[in-house]
Amino acid sequence: MRRASLALAAWLIAGAAGAATPVEKDLSAGWRFRLAPGAEDQHARTMSCNGSCERFRDWQPAVVPGAVQTDLLAQGRIGDPFWRDNEAGLQWIGLTDWDYQLDFQLDAAALKRDHVDLVFDGLDTFAEVSLNGKKLLAADNMFRRWRLPVKGSLHAGTNTLQVHFQSPIARLQPWLTKQPYSLPGEFDSAFGDEPKGKQTSNYVRKANYQYGWDWGPRYVTMGIWRPVRLESWDGWRVADLHIAQAKVDEAAADLQVQLDVRADKPGRAKVKVDWTAPDGRHGEQTQDVALKAGENPITVPVAIDRPQRWWPVGYGEPNLYRFHAAVAIDGATVAEAERETGLRSVELRREKDQWGRGFAFVVNGVPIFAKGANLIPFDSFPSRVTPERMQAILQSAHDANMNMLRMWGGGTYQDDAFYAMADRLGLMIWQDFMFGGAITPYDDAFRENTRIEAVEQVTRLRDHPSIVLWAGNNEVQTGWDDWPDRQDFRKFVNADEVKRIDDGMRELFGGTLRKVVNELSPGTPYWASSPSTDFEGPANVENDGDFHYWKVWSGSEPISHYLDITPRFQSEYGLQSFPVMATIKAFAQPDDMQPESKVMRAHQKFANGDGNQRLLLYIRQEYGEPKDFPSFVYLSQVMQAEGIELAAEHLRSARPRNMGSLYWQLNDVWPGASWASVDYFNRWKALQFHAKRFYAPVDVVPLRRDGKTDVFAVSDRTAAFDATLRTRVYDMAGKLLSEESKSVHATALSSTPVASLDDAALLKGADPRHTVVSFDLLEQGKVAAHHLLYFGAARTLALPAQPGLEIAVRAGDRGPLLSVSTKRLARAVWIDTGDLDVRLSNNAFDLLPGESVEIAVDGKVDIDALRRAVTIRSLVDALKETKP
């Protein structure tokens, strides 16, 4: 990630040829840090500093990019922040001030350059920067880049750079306690460092999730969290290169290559733009320009015939073009830059129809059903995230047939490398601005700070074709309108002040941010809030805009109620589960292995630890009583997977009324209970395996309600196809009771109703407790999609007490293979490989009597070690008792 950031910076630095080539000096190495002298915050003295804060006042080595917590951990000064209940004892770190310092060498040659800029890509968050004793900057926004001309503050030899970080809580709480009211925020601290209802996070541009969320810990970080460097250049610099796509279709791409050239003096210049297509085709365009001293916006029109367009995964190749722009004076190149981008059109189509008003993404003229999940930050400490880790999570989404991820607004904007990966994988990104649900201040300074942040972020990211939507925030409007604490707040504060707060939010999200996107990236849609109707009506309604559905889980309603709602686009819904036992062992000891143990409650953030009782509620409703803790963990995953599958397939079957399913959530910031389908260590839960099937390009979806089953053939293909629906009814011991087939014509990009069957017609007198139905969509005799249907919740079924499951391990041509078979019906089969970090090609499935499957094992593993580690279980193994 750091290399990618520096590479991008190198592209966008320009200078004269030869000896005037721009120079970049990385300032990441050699930093030291310490507890700031005079930091007398009461919390720092009374919490886990334990009265011995002096030991933190000595300078210690620091890692940049990084954070105070990660530096303390690296020095062995604190325990693992994720281990057991260490979180509570480490809160003092975010409640006091810290200093960072770097001594670096600079030769006289560097000072001869016309310009020397100090560039911080990210400071977290209230930071005072001094160079050789001269104060240069008071930063106040985690999401901004700070570029400072420093030639006059440098000298040859040793220079000293200092950054003093103020605790955002210690800085803002004294001010907040004097205010007539506190704006409603998100989650109160569980550790007493902020009074209930007086959250400072609303008032600062810092990642909201670091103050604690219902899926992650509270670690209020400080530090130089993104790279820092010196940039030296002479005469000219390309500050930005943007490929504006005025019109892109199958026949042609009409582009405007836009350069922002910074020049020290006026003069004539020639700008040359050349491009290279994915297939190697090449073109160029030149233009004479007159430069003035200062900023020079330059536009060079470029036309490309029959472009190789960028497509989302499943609809074509994610083609990328390379553009190079050079500025020459008297035949010598004085500045240049490169940019990689994809050519595509994107529209958020909101047509009125019989269900209200639609919400559909249309890419290159093709309506895309969005299949995916919400993405949260990758770690509680962002600087720990490596390119490999980002790639693994994005690859997991791709491998599960997802085509869209929603970058949720309570975290951080990701590094350029993340979006470049999404570009190459064909994953669409719904990008929230960083507002996680808290009510925002309405003062001009806050809005202007946010505006500059938005300008910088949109400018940085607008050439990534993966970004198909900018959204103003997460749940700010629906929270303001509907949440009980906001309604109480409205009653407490006078009407004039309520109006000012409301007007301020509408101006920020409906005006300021919209204007930034429309001016800087007009080809990308903007959406004021999620969920919303873009300030054209109430938020979170089924017949218009996007929808967040939380009556299931948060409202404790049965999972079957997923079938009761059919919004236009469901951008949030979810069920929790625990990660696999190998992940739990990474943060807990054997005596912690109980749902209500102190450690399990500490790693369950929903309802202050009471979320494990909510898990048991749903497990008991659907399956019965877990017989032990590993069974509780396994059943939580089964419940989550089968529940989200029901919701997602209902949404897909409702196309075009519904055009999107983004469940909450894909990933984790730490190991613990959450809504994630891929855990902190990138281990797939049962849900991720289910998603690979229910998000497949072709799916057969049987939905049973009130004794009737409707069957749909769901297809994301852009061409129609003919198939056969095969319906087979079995008893759970393996006897085939009936079989029928019918021809199906599955239309393109649609959900096609193919059958409507009542229980009597399917069962033909058979006992529903002993019966299962298999639906197969056959194309040219091969199974294109498969689905089983049961007649009731699992706890009501007479599942075979001894399915006769067997598993064998053998060597294959490309690695180990697992062969799994069963004599009788095996429900919710789960293969566990213990502590071996391998990926299975299939898992979390049901097996019909006599059926067998072969599963590939991906990962470096000794086959004998795999034989020793692998175990297999099914639903009946996890319950205290099995009904006859």
Q: Which pLDDT does position 751 carry in this prediction?
A: 98
pLDDT higher than 70, residue 182: yes
Q: Which pLDDT does position 703 carry in this prediction?
A: 98
Q: Which pLDDT does position 9 carry in this prediction?
A: 41
Q: Which pLDDT does position 51 carry in this prediction?
A: 58
Domain carrying residue 852: 806-878
Give the CATH number for residue 275.
Answer: 2.60.40.10
- 509-538: pLDDT as tens digits: 999 999 999 999 999 999 999 999 999 999
- Answer yes or no: is 835 within a domain: yes
Residues 225 and 242 in one domain: no
Q: What pairing do the DSSP bridges indicate for beta strands 370-375 and 660-663? A: parallel
> In total, how many domains does the chain have?
4
Question: Is residue 727 within 8 Å of 740, Cβ to Cβ?
Answer: yes
Q: Which pLDDT does position 49 carry in this prediction?
A: 62
Surface-to-core class of residue 559, CB atoms within 10 Å of its CB (0-12 exposed, 13-18 middle, 19+ buried): buried
Q: Which pLDDT does position 39 carry in this prediction?
A: 72
Last residue of a domain, one of 177, 208, 229: 229
Mean pLDDT of 566-570: 98
Residues 263 and 134 in one domain: no
- Answer yes or no: is 241 within a domain: yes
Residues 718 and 861 in one domain: no
Residues 35 and 139 in one domain: yes
Q: Which pLDDT does position 559 carry in this prediction?
A: 98
Query: In the 8-state DSSP scheme, what is residue 152?
Result: G
Residue 146 to residue 304: CA distance in whole angstroms: 36
Quickly count: other Cβ atoms within 10 Å of residue 132's Cβ: 14
Mean pLDDT of 454-467: 98
Query: In the 8-state DSSP scheme, what is residue 441?
Result: P
Q: Which pLDDT does position 300 carry in this prediction?
A: 98
pLDDT higher than 60, residue 2: no
Question: Is residue 466 within 8 Å of 428, Cβ to Cβ?
Answer: yes
Tokens of 258: 């836009």
pLDDT higher than 70, residue 762: yes
**Closest by CA position to 516, among listed 573, 567, 451:** 451
Last residue of a domain, one of 796, 830, 857: 796
- Answer yes or no: is 836 within a domain: yes
Residues 239 and 224 in one domain: no
pLDDT higher than 80, residue 14: no
- Answer yes or no: is 588 within a domain: no
Q: Which residues contact 783 (CB under 8 A, 6 or more apart)?
A: 776, 777
∠ CA 857-863-866, rounded to 5°: 70
Mean pLDDT of 160-188: 97
pLDDT confidence tier of residue 11, bands split at 50, 70 and 90: very low
Q: Which pLDDT does position 52 carry in this prediction?
A: 67
Tokens of 92: 């003092």
- 38-93: pLDDT as tens digits: 875 544 444 446 556 788 999 999 999 999 999 999 999 999 999 999 999 999 99
Mean pLDDT of 437-444: 97
Residue 401 to residue 648: CA distance in whole angstroms: 13
Q: Which residues contact 791 (CB under 8 A, 6 or more apart)?
A: 704, 759, 763, 768, 769, 771, 797
Residue 753 to residue 653: CA distance in whole angstroms: 8
Residues 149 and 239 in one domain: no
Last residue of a domain, one of 796, 814, 841: 796
Residues 206 and 112 in one domain: yes
List the single range of 7-21, 333-347, 413-427, 547-561 with lowest mean pLDDT: 7-21
Tokens of 730: 């079995």
Surface-to-core class of residue 148, CB atoms within 10 Å of its CB (0-12 exposed, 13-18 middle, 19+ buried): middle
∠ CA 276-278-280, rounded to 5°: 55
- Answer yes or no: is 769 within a domain: yes
What are the phi and psi torsion angles at 328 (to 5°)? -120, 140
Q: Which pLDDT does position 16 carry in this prediction?
A: 31
Mean pLDDT of 658-665: 98
pLDDT higher than 90, residue 17: no
Residues 163 and 211 in one domain: yes
Mean pLDDT of 455-476: 98
- Answer yes or no: is 624 within a domain: no
> H helices within 717-793, ranges in order?
759-763
For residue 741, which amino acid is it? S
- 750-761: pLDDT as tens digits: 999 999 999 999
For residue 290, which amino acid is it? A
Residues 169 and 87 in one domain: yes
Give me the DSSP letters along 796-849.
GS---S----EEEEEEETTEEEEEEE-SS-EEEEEEE-TT---EESS-SEEE-T
- Answer yes or no: is 404 within a domain: no
Mean pLDDT of 367-392: 98
pLDDT confidence tier of residue 497, bands split at 50, 70 and 90: very high
Percent of the chain with pLDDT over 90: 94
- Answer yes or no: is 817 within a domain: yes
For residue 383, which amino acid is it? S
Residues 100 and 170 in one domain: yes
Residues 31 and 146 in one domain: yes
Residues 218 and 255 in one domain: no
